[in-house]
Chains A and B, each alone.
Chain A
Amino acid sequence: MSKPALMRHMPQIAHVDVNCFYASAERAFDPSLEGKPVIVLSNNDGCAVTRSPEAKALGIAMGEPWFKLAPRAKEWGLVALSSNYELYGDISARVMELLGRYSAWLEVYSIDEAFLGVKGTPSELASLGTSMKAAVRRNVGVPVCVGIAPTKTLAKLANKWAKNNKGFAGVCHWDSVPAAEREALLGRLSVEEVWGIAGRLTRRLNGMGIFTIADLVRADPVAIRDKFNVVVMRTVLELQGTPCIPMEEERIGRDQLIFSRSFAKPITTAAGIRQVMSVYGQQASARLAKHGLQAKVLTAFAGTSHFNPKDTSYPSVCVPLPMPTADPVILTKAGHALLPRIVEGVRYARAGIMVTDLRPSGNQAPLSLFENPHEERHIGTLLEDVTRRYGRGSIGLGHGGIRGGPDWTMKRDMLSPRYTTHWGELPLVKAA
């Protein structure tokens, strides 16, 4: 096989993410925010978690507490918004569904970014990136950037480059950039710009004389493994162009937990998807419990392969949970909201769930109550005894045991309408 022919068949990775996701989702429904500095605040309106470029230009730092910014907001014309997780969850599901049409090999990496396996000639890949970007902007209404490269680490880097360099118009195909330009970039950027390299690791690499990404690319992977670990070695190999970080099926981030999987054999029935959702519901529950977290919103999705363009179906639902929970029963039932949208007989190649709006579960550990077989631990009689001695509401299963105001009713004083998930909060269009 000749080299160009071989290259044509080498799969590459596209990394797609939404620019300033939360702020962009808000702007999609409120165009008056365009051009204004916008920040979105964390749970309970704590601190800035998303900043529009205009807000960054004001010098507002990531994580800056709102109480410090509030006194100057008016003078700056700064718009602060509470986290509208219902909106972000739905917008995310739409973006992922749309991206899934471009590749059967999709890893939803976080609420606003995904990796896709893609194939093609350099010009095909570049135009694929451009059309993905245009489609998300047109259909969903939010801007994305795309980086396409032989490895995940390089794709992330290409995306960052596309974001920061207007010349790319938001899409960077790594291999199409002249080698001299790539090398100049790598020689300019600090190692901490690399995906997975941060803080302490940066300082240790600096101590070894590795300052720029170019320095790290030149490092001996084996020596790096011996000095650090296999994870850092993989990063070096990926920077050198050898793919070694596989597509993941499960990931926990600061704000979300995702389980998604491409099936070895297509699933063609709602009953099959029901099983998959049950497995994910339980996995998500176990994982949330392990991290001491509860979720408030669950998004479930499925999709057909794009190799089978005849019977396409990409159902998704965003389910606000009745309370923050890690309960496997509730998570599974929420996942089952997808089932009415499953078309019988269609060959689904992929399905997944994403739980978002995560928060610490607090001191009470309601999850242990749901572990089977809880009957054997005499939970029922224990509950009765405690209730008899300390009164109603002193103890209970899950949220049944919360005394006083539930701690999960979040403060969201600056919440925008839940435009796409609540019939009473639809976007208003003026007929005047």
Chain B
Amino acid sequence: MGVIVGPRVIDAGVSLLSVLVSPMPVAAGFPSPAQDYFDGRIDLNAHLIKDVTGTYVVRVSGESMEGAGISDGDELIVDRALEPHDGSVVVAVLDGELTIKRLRITPTGVILQAENPAYPDIAVPALSDLSIWGTAVRCLHHV
């Protein structure tokens, strides 16, 4: 699992203050020999977000997904446009709350699985009975 430390902005509001100050020092004197090779810094948005219109960042509260490497306080990048399938880590609506579970689609029914033996699985009669909010595509795990 990729680990990203201290991400700042994922297509969120940009503070005006960050706009007023140029992030690049203004060169005076000799041009840097590296200048021609500078192609822009790595943009996490470009690599981690496929479709900004359907991507949200959420924060995990609880330990039931520890086995999937998702800990309390981690941030998840959730893509709502993806079709969830068996094995997807999904954000589902349960009792009016956003809940994170592993989706299992079996011949006998649909199960929302916890990734921690201390937490029970939840059986759902059919996929259509389930309201899936989005599919987690990345975990920003705090190391």
Contacts and interface: CB of A to CB of B under 8 A. Distances in A.
Interface of A: 29-34, 86, 90, 94-95, 97-98, 138-141, 314, 316-322, 330, 333-334, 336-337, 418-423, 426-432
A333 B19 contact: yes
B42 to A, nearest CB: 13
Interface stretch (B25-33, B63-71, B103-111): B63-71
Contacts of A31: 93, 96-98, 131, 133
B98 to A, nearest CB: 4
Interface string B20-58: 100000000000000000000000000000011110111
A430 B80 contact: no
Contacts, number: 123
A428 B58 contact: yes
Contacts of B94: 430
Contacts of A95: 53
A140 B60 contact: no
A432 B14 contact: no
Given A319-B19, A430-B61, A431-B63, A138 B12 contact: no
A421 B15 CA distance: 10
A58 to B, nearest CB: 20
**Looking at chain B's contact residues, is the secondary structure mostly helix, strand, loop, or mixed?**
mixed
Given A31-B131, A432-B119, A90 B98 contact: no
A420 B100 contact: no
Contacts of A422: 12-13
B96 A34 contact: yes
A222 B15 CA distance: 53
B142 interface: no
A156 B8 CA distance: 41
A336 B19 contact: yes
A225 B38 CA distance: 63
B8 A423 contact: yes
A429 B59 CA distance: 6
B19 to A, nearest CB: 5
A421 B12 contact: yes
Interface residues of B, number: 43
A337 B58 contact: no
A201 B100 CA distance: 54
**Looking at chain A's contact residues, is the secondary structure mostly helix, strand, loop, or mixed?**
mixed
Contacts of B99: 429-432
Given A138-B80, A426-B75, A333 B16 contact: yes
B98 A314 contact: no
A313 to B, nearest CB: 10
Nearest to B65: A431
B9 interface: yes
A430 B97 contact: yes
Given A86-B13, A138-B81, A428-B61, 7 more contacts: A31-B131, A140-B53, A320-B16, A337-B18, A427-B58, A431-B72, A431-B100
A429 B75 CA distance: 10
A336 B133 CA distance: 33
B53 A98 contact: yes
Contacts of A316: 52
A139 B53 contact: yes
Contacts of A98: 53
Question: Which are the 9 A-B pairs with shortest beta-carbon distances?
Answer: A139-B54, A32-B96, A431-B62, A421-B13, A432-B62, A431-B64, A426-B59, A337-B14, A429-B98
B17 interface: yes
Contacts of B51: 139
Given A31-B93, A31-B131, A318-B13, A429 B100 contact: yes
A98 B114 CA distance: 34
Residue among B53, B57, B64, B76 having the largest count of chain A Cβ atoms under 10 Å = B53
Given A31-B131, A139-B80, A430-B100, A420 B56 contact: yes
Nearest to B20: A333
A334 B13 CA distance: 11
Contacts of B53: 94-95, 97-98, 139-140, 314
Nearest to A419: B56
A426 B74 CA distance: 11
Given A31-B98, A97-B53, A431 B61 contact: yes
A427 B13 contact: no
Contacts of B75: 426
Nearest to B99: A430
Contacts of A420: 12, 56-57
Interface in B123-143: 131, 133
Contacts of B80: 138-141
B12 A330 contact: no
A422 B56 CA distance: 12
Nearest to A341: B45
A264 B56 CA distance: 34
B14 A319 contact: yes
A429 B12 contact: no
A313 B65 CA distance: 35
Contacts of A90: 12-13
